[in-house]
Amino acid sequence: MTSIRGTVLAVGAAVSVAALSACKSGNAQQRDTARAREGVQPKTQVASRPGSTPAESAAVLPAGALSTQGTGEWWMPGRDYSGSRYSTLNDINTSNVANLKVTTTFSTGVLHGHEGQPLVVGTTMYVVTPYPNLLYAIDLTKPGGVLRWVYTPPTSSRAVGIACCDIINRGAVYADGKIIYNTLDAQTVAVNASTGKEVWRVRVGDINIGETITGAPLVVKGKVIVGNSGAELGVRGYVIALDVGSGKQVWKAYSTGPDADVLIGPEFKPFYARDRGTDLGVKTWTKDQWKLGGGTVWGWISYDPETNTLFYSTANPGVWNPDLRPGDNKWSITLFARDPDNGHAKWAYQFVKHDAWDYDEIMENVLVDMPFNGQQRKLLIHPGRTGFVYTFDRTTGELLNAEKYQPTNWATRVDTKTGETTEEPSKRTHEGVVTRDICPSSTGAKDQQPSAFSLRTGLLYIPAHNVCMDYEGVEANYIAGTPYLGASVKMFPGPGGYRGELVAWDPVHAKTVCSVKEDLPLWSGVLATAGDVVFYGTMDGWFRAIDAHTCAQLWSFKTGSGIIGNPIAYRGPDGKEYIAVYSGIGGWMGAVAFPDVSIDDPYTALGVAGAVPDIKQKTGMGGMLYVFSL
Amino acid sequence: MSSASSRAGRGARKARLTISLGTELAVLALPVVLFALLVSGSAPEQAHATNATSAPPKLQTLRVCADPNNMPFSNERQQGFENRIASLIAHDLGVPVQYTWWPERRGFVRNTLEARSCDVVMQVPASYELTEHTAPYYRSTYVFVTRADRHLAIESFDDPALRHLRIGIHMMGDDYANSPAASALARRGLAAQIVPFMIYGDYSQPDPPARIIRAVATDSIDVAVAWGPLAGYFAKRSPVRLALTPVTPASREFAFSMAMGVRHGDSTMRAVLDTELARRRADIRRILEDYGVPLVESSQR
């Protein structure tokens, strides 16, 4: 076997997919090697594996496909624990992807933002819709796919009004014979994957205080890991672990507050001195503000079975006006490494101290093992909202490099020796002070839409934005009968004449290898496959395939609505490779496309209208699953 | 691929946006159109057509958008001063009042007035951009609320006594926006004295923003800075005598003129309301005084 370029941590199997030092050439021989390997049972098992319960109905979930995820399946949001979004399937590859055709479509009946991705378990596909959070099971053995059942969770419609509007959902996870996901009104539900019957349902958060859940759970060692949303309503962020069998709480780790609440103990060993100390979740705030501290966990969760470590990062600090909350405001905008057994923190790294831009770092943390400066290392790659891609040694929390991947001027560099970021003081916002041309804007160089990592190229494919902002004066505002003045922020396209870019990032040399510039910001996730094809969608509905080595466009198809979902690859019951993606504009920026949303409304989509004022002309609402094959 | 960028840039400069930028709330900002369709079944037929009205039919119902749980402004039992004023106007017009209840939070105007399920928001700041508005019908101010038996008599954020007091303020929870008291205190280096109360509070409880006034009565804070109408109403009902002093100097930051809000372009409704407001000026003032609203003269808007 040739030297290992990269390894992701697969579910139930340490798939040491090798691939190839000279990967950039991507020749046919290598592809054949990968093909031969695909489908071969992995020899090594990881210590833990989800879903060891045999199927209740072998017809739906063939035995043998259950204890470990097959190469053609997609059991969890990022496909594997690493969050790689890499499929080892390669029937669809650079030489034939131009022939990709729509095989089937399915309307979810919900005209709203479709973030997230479907799952494929055995011969069934599972689709979770935006609120009201229906779960569809689609039988893939029938031509065109036939609906097997629909599960409708009891959700509080009043809650939606209180939560004020969010109705997106980022998907489900399969484990223990169950499809498990979160509802907007802050419940977690587990549904029998065969029958569609609810197994358990628990209320995780309280909608009355503004808690919602939009993120997807992950199941690790018999625990369902769930994070909350709602930082803007003063919600205090946390991650909770529920027993996969019963839904009962096992542990809960807050993002702010005393160490006892954050589950920080003697085993907590941050790499940098800046993140060490006692009760920093209280001491780095003024008075009781940590109780409104934000730091919610609404993004992606990943897991390293080898070191038994969970990884996720937290949102921005709670209340606005950074001048009001002097201090670092820990643990907002922080990457946490935790032991999934008891939730205890192993290390943490705060990306941005004392946030003044809303750089909400809930982005994915992709785990890969690959050679780094001549040494095989366990990496964690975090493409940041801040405009930097951060590469860590995930065993220690040491930052190995952090470089910019989009126009970024709020900071000049990140020092890997100290972990500190050198800010540009003129770009730090203060209430009552006009600050112009801050890049990136609060939407970040990317938002929640997840990247994909190719084991064959060793590159991370990042869906990026290029949007900047001015922070201006004040305007009359009004909540709960109470008038007040709010600052006004204006977003606009960043320099360079493009608003979106698919960036192929080399995490070792910390540089862009190739890229595709797009007119609109990219709000879809990315899929990379062993066929050396990278898939992503655009906000105006184009679904594209590019060459993983050169970024050359190989294929493009216009779906009915803007794409903000994340593509997946799977092998159908007929043995063929399929690619699936949602089409349905929405999300933060995408909401500007809705007909009832005026771009003159200052609340519209929270200010991003200035970044995409043209989107109404380019797409309309939708809610479709598209499936493609050769 | 990038041809639209410059155009987008101009568009951006045109649209001034108060933002609550946000994170997951970003996503939370999605309008609840779907919710309306699926749950309430009150799908707006007319989508976003504006200025579509010509020769409107005679008013059949006064359709009011209001919060079901926010005294002294409004509640589902119609006990608030907004409810009283709405009834007064409807009576004059000889029509019934019909309410669309929605928590007054981000998305309120979009999901009620803009969704055309109602036509009037009984009060908005007179310089509010989300609605068109009538002439202002009252002006109030933020006030300091203290226990009368403490004799603190705080009138200004420059009062040195504030350096040693626990100061309760509302937090709006929007990025880029907060209570004016928050910035006044931050500017004076008094952030450490702040005891925050989310304006949203716990919506399962009655009148969530009122918790800050009760906190003064129970001595869990020394002073609250709150919007006058809220403070005035709950101070009147407090078991402990409370003292209210307007924040001075009165400025654009602390005093607001309040008007009724209608949909942009709905000049018919605006005219009806303006006529009523002029005619019922004295009655409305009496209602506001009944509710303990601290009124200030409108020297400026």
Tens of pLDDT along B101-129? 998 987 889 889 998 999 999 999 998 88
Cβ-defined contact of A131 to B34 (cutoff 8 Å): yes
Active site residue A316: yes
Across the interface, of A287, A325, A599, the residue whose CB is closest to B15 is A599
Q: Taking all residues of chain A, what is their mean pLDDT, rounded to a whole number?
A: 87
CB pairs under 8 A between A and B: 400
Determine the pLDDT at residue B253. 85
Determine the pLDDT at residue B186. 80
- Mutation for testing the B interface, residue in A297, A321, A539 having most B CBs under 10 Å: A321
Question: In the numeric block, which tokens belong to residue A196?
Answer: 């569609």
| Distance from C-alpha of B236 to C-alpha of B143, rounded to nearest angstrom | 14
Pick from A48-62, A193-207, A599-613, B266-280: least confident: A48-62
Q: How many CB atoms lie within 10 A of CB A374?
A: 6
Question: In the numeric block, which tokens belong to residue B116?
Answer: 């055309």
Cβ-defined contact of A160 to B32 (cutoff 8 Å): yes
Determine the pLDDT at residue B173. 67
A430: closest chain B residue by CA: B176
- Establish if A617 touches chain B: CB-CB under 8 angstroms: no
Q: Which of A38, A185, A211, A232 is catalytic?
A: A232
- Establish if A603 touches chain B: CB-CB under 8 angstroms: yes
Of residues A285 and B5, the one with the higher pLDDT is A285
Cβ-defined contact of A232 to B175 (cutoff 8 Å): yes
Determine the pLDDT at residue B105. 84
Of residues A443 and A603, the one with the higher pLDDT is A443
Determine the pLDDT at residue A16. 32
Sequence length of chain B is 301
A229: closest chain B residue by CA: B24
pLDDT at position A380 over 50: yes
Contact present, A257 and A291 (Cβ < 8 Å): yes
pLDDT at position A600 over 90: no
Per-residue pLDDT band for A66 (boundaries 50, 70, 90) equals very low
Cβ-defined contact of A320 to B178 (cutoff 8 Å): yes
Q: Find residues 405-434 of chain A whose CB sits inside 8 Å of chain B.
A: 431-432
Find the radius of gyration of the CA atoms of chain A. 22
B68 prior amide bond cis, ω within 30: no
Active site residue A232: yes
Determine the pLDDT at residue A13. 34
Determine the pLDDT at residue A260. 98
Per-residue pLDDT band for B198 (boundaries 50, 70, 90) equals confident
Helix (H, G, I), strand (E, B) or coil at A334: strand
Per-residue pLDDT band for A158 (boundaries 50, 70, 90) equals low
Determine the pLDDT at residue A473. 63
Q: Find residues 435-454 of chain A whose CB sits inside 8 Å of chain B.
A: 441-443, 447-448
Determine the pLDDT at residue A574. 96
Q: Tell me how far CA of residue B102 lies from CA of A80, A202, B76, B226, in angstroms.
A: 42, 26, 10, 22
Cβ-defined contact of A161 to B227 (cutoff 8 Å): no
> Using a CB-CB distance cutoff of 8 angstroms, which residues of chain A are in contact with residue B67?
480-481
Cβ-defined contact of A208 to B256 (cutoff 8 Å): no
Question: Can you tell me the ipTM of this complex?
Answer: 0.79
Of residues A490 and A52, the one with the higher pLDDT is A490
Q: Find residues 184-213 of chain A whose CB sits inside 8 Å of chain B.
A: 206, 208-210, 212
pLDDT at position A217 over 60: yes
> Using a CB-CB distance cutoff of 8 angstroms, which residues of chain A are in contact with residue B34?
110-112, 130-131, 167
- Mutation for testing the A interface, residue in B64, B114, B130, B176 having most A CBs under 10 Å: B176
Phi first, then psi: give them for residue A92, nearest 5 degrees. -90, 115
- Mutation for testing the B interface, residue in A238, A352, A596 having most B CBs under 10 Å: A596
Phi first, then psi: give them for residue A24, nearest 5 degrees. -60, -25
Tens of pLDDT along B61-96? 999 999 999 999 999 999 999 999 999 999 999 999
pLDDT at position B35 over 90: no
**pTM assigned to the model:** 0.82
pLDDT at position A80 over 90: yes
Across the interface, of B11, B176, B204, the residue whose CB is closest to A487 is B176
Tens of pLDDT along B212-242? 999 999 999 999 999 999 999 999 999 999 9
Q: Distance (Å) from the C-alpha of residue B186 to the closest C-alpha of chain A? A: 5
pLDDT at position A237 over 50: yes
Per-residue pLDDT band for A166 (boundaries 50, 70, 90) equals low
Q: Taking all residues of chain B, what is their mean pLDDT, rounded to a whole number?
A: 81
Per-residue pLDDT band for A6 (boundaries 50, 70, 90) equals low
Q: Which of A38, A73, A358, A364 is catalytic?
A: A358
Pick from A163-177, A592-606, B60-74: least confident: A592-606
Per-residue pLDDT band for A592 (boundaries 50, 70, 90) equals confident
Average pLDDT over residues A274-290: 93
Per-residue pLDDT band for A582 (boundaries 50, 70, 90) equals very high
> Using a CB-CB distance cutoff of 8 angstroms, which residues of chain A are in contact with residue B182?
319, 321, 324
- Establish if A478 touches chain B: CB-CB under 8 angstroms: yes
Contact present, A281 and A259 (Cβ < 8 Å): yes
> Using a CB-CB distance cutoff of 8 angstroms, which residues of chain B are in contact with residue A107?
none
Q: How many CB atoms lie within 10 A of CB B163?
A: 12
Across the interface, of B18, B38, B171, the residue whose CB is closest to A477 is B18
Tens of pLDDT along A542-563? 999 999 999 999 999 999 999 9
Per-residue pLDDT band for B33 (boundaries 50, 70, 90) equals very low
Average pLDDT over residues A52-78: 58
pLDDT at position A26 over 90: no
> Using a CB-CB distance cutoff of 8 angstroms, which residues of chain A are in contact with residue B64?
none
Q: Which helix (H) or strand (E) holds A589?
A: helix A587-590
Across the interface, of A229, A319, A600, the residue whose CB is closest to B15 is A600
Tens of pLDDT along B261-277? 999 999 999 999 999 99
Instruction: Work out whether the CA dihedral A111, A112, A115, A119 comes out positive or negative.
Output: negative
pLDDT at position A15 over 50: no
3-state SS record for chain B? CCCCHHHHHHHHHHCCCECCCCHHHHHHCCCCHHHHHHHHCCCCCCCCCCCCCCCCCCCCCEEEEECCEECCCEECCCCCHHHHHHHHHHHHHCCCEEEEECCCCCCHHHHCCCCCCCCEEEEEECCCCCCEECCCCEEEEEEEEEEHHHCCCCCCCCCHHHHHCCEEEEECCCCCECCHHHHHHHHCCCHHHEEEEECCCCCCCCCHHHHHHHHHHCCCCCEEEEEHHHHHHHHHCCCCCEEEEECCCCCCCCEEEEEEEECCCCHHHHHHHHHHHHHCHHHHHHHHHHCCCCCCCCCCC
- Establish if A374 touches chain B: CB-CB under 8 angstroms: no
Average pLDDT over residues A433-448: 93
> Using a CB-CB distance cutoff of 8 angstroms, which residues of chain B are in contact with residue A600?
15
Cβ-defined contact of A209 to B129 (cutoff 8 Å): no
Sequence length of chain A is 630
Average pLDDT over residues A211-218: 93
Q: Distance (Å) from the C-alpha of residue B95 to the closest C-alpha of chain A? A: 25
Q: Find residues 329-358 of chain A whose CB sits inside 8 Å of chain B.
A: 358
Per-residue pLDDT band for A293 (boundaries 50, 70, 90) equals confident
pLDDT at position A56 over 90: no
> Using a CB-CB distance cutoff of 8 angstroms, which residues of chain B are in contact with residue A167?
30, 32, 34-35
Determine the pLDDT at residue A153. 97
Of residues A160 and A340, the one with the higher pLDDT is A340
Tens of pLDDT along B152-168? 989 999 999 999 999 99
Pick from A525-529, B41-45, B162-166: least confident: B41-45
Across the interface, of A362, A604, A611, the residue whose CB is closest to B12 is A611
Across the interface, of B22, B115, B193, the residue whose CB is closest to A442 is B22
Determine the pLDDT at residue A598. 66
Q: Distance (Å) from the C-alpha of residue B192 to the closest C-alpha of chain A? A: 5
Cβ-defined contact of B196 to A603 (cutoff 8 Å): no
Residues of chain B with pLDDT > 70: what percent?
78
Cβ-defined contact of B12 to A493 (cutoff 8 Å): yes
Active site residue A358: yes
Q: Which helix (H) or strand (E) holds A34?
A: helix A28-37
| Distance from C-alpha of A295 to C-alpha of A313, rounded to nearest angstrom | 9
A593: closest chain B residue by CA: B30
Per-residue pLDDT band for A57 (boundaries 50, 70, 90) equals very low
Per-residue pLDDT band for A606 (boundaries 50, 70, 90) equals low
> Using a CB-CB distance cutoff of 8 angstroms, which residues of chain B are in contact with residue A157?
35, 38-40
Q: Distance (Å) from the C-alpha of residue A551 to the closest C-alpha of chain B? A: 15
